[in-house]
Amino acid sequence: MDRRSFIKTGLAGAAAGSLLPVSALADHGHKAMMTPMAGSLYYTEANPGRWSAKAGGHLPHIKVEGSQVQVVTGHEMKGYEHYIVKHILFDAHMNILGEKLFDPTKDQPISDYTLPAGYKGTLYALSMCNKHDVWLNSLDV
Ligand SMILES: [Fe+2]
């Protein structure tokens, strides 16, 4: 194999490897929380990576009552200096169910969503801090 073919094969493999885990694991509930990307690309309670002292204020919490979902991040909203930028809620297949962009001058990091009728499965909530990156949590409904 020449150098160019080797690089093409390697890039194709890397691309497939980066895409396959999410789609393959999303069908199996919380396993998407345990990919090699947890603790590096995004952070979880079990894999807080370089922000191990920051999990308490950054992990989004998911509450479900009937078809209503509320996502809360217990983080300060200190203007544009330090705040939660947004929440995104995903279903078990990583389809976006909703997202909320926050204005740190007037919002708290709380977002509300309505589930599709009869939804059963894992929900994933992502919370993004402007200083401490992206955090992921999940809940089965
Ligand atoms: Fe933060």
Instruction: Measure 27 CA to ligand 1 centroid, in angstroms.
Output: 30
Stretch among 22-26, 44-48, 108-112 having the lowest mean pLDDT: 22-26
Q: How many C-beta atoms lie closer than 10 Å to residue 91's C-beta? A: 17
Q: What CA–CA distance (Å, rounded) separates 69 from 57?
A: 20
Average pLDDT estimate for 76-96: 97
pLDDT at 38: 92
User: Which one-letter amino acid corresponds to residue 25?
Assistant: L
Instruction: Measure 55 CA to ligand 1 centroid, in angstroms.
Output: 9
Q: Which two tokens stand for residue 24?
A: 């393959």
Count of structural domains within the chain: 1
- pTM greater than 0.85 (yes/no): no
Calculate the average pLDDT of the chain.
Answer: 85
Instruction: Measure 82 CA to ligand 1 centroid, in angstroms.
Output: 6
Q: What CA–CA distance (Å, rounded) separates 119 from 129?
A: 28
pLDDT at 17: 41
Instruction: Measure 17 CA to ligand 1 centroid, in angstroms.
Output: 30
Average pLDDT estimate for 82-101: 97
Strand partners, 57: none
Phi, psi of 22 (to 5 degrees): -65, -50
Q: What is the 3-state secondary structure (H, E, C) of the chain?
A: CCHHHHHHHHHHHHHHHHHHHHHHHHCCHHHHHHCCCECCCEECCCCCHHHHHHHHHHCCEEEEECCEEEEECCCCCEHHHECEEEEEEECCCCCEEEEEECCCCCCCCEEEEECCCCCCCEEEEEEEECCCEEEEEEEEC
Average pLDDT estimate for 95-121: 97
pLDDT digits (tens, 9 = 90+) for 17-45: 444 344 444 444 566 677 889 999 999 99
Q: Which two tokens stand for residue 12?
A: 């194709």
Instruction: Measure 58 CA to ligand 1 centroid, in angstroms.
Output: 6
- Tell me which residue range forms the domain holding 31: 3-140
- Any idea what the CATH number is for the domain that residue 75 is in? 2.60.40.730
pLDDT at 8: 44
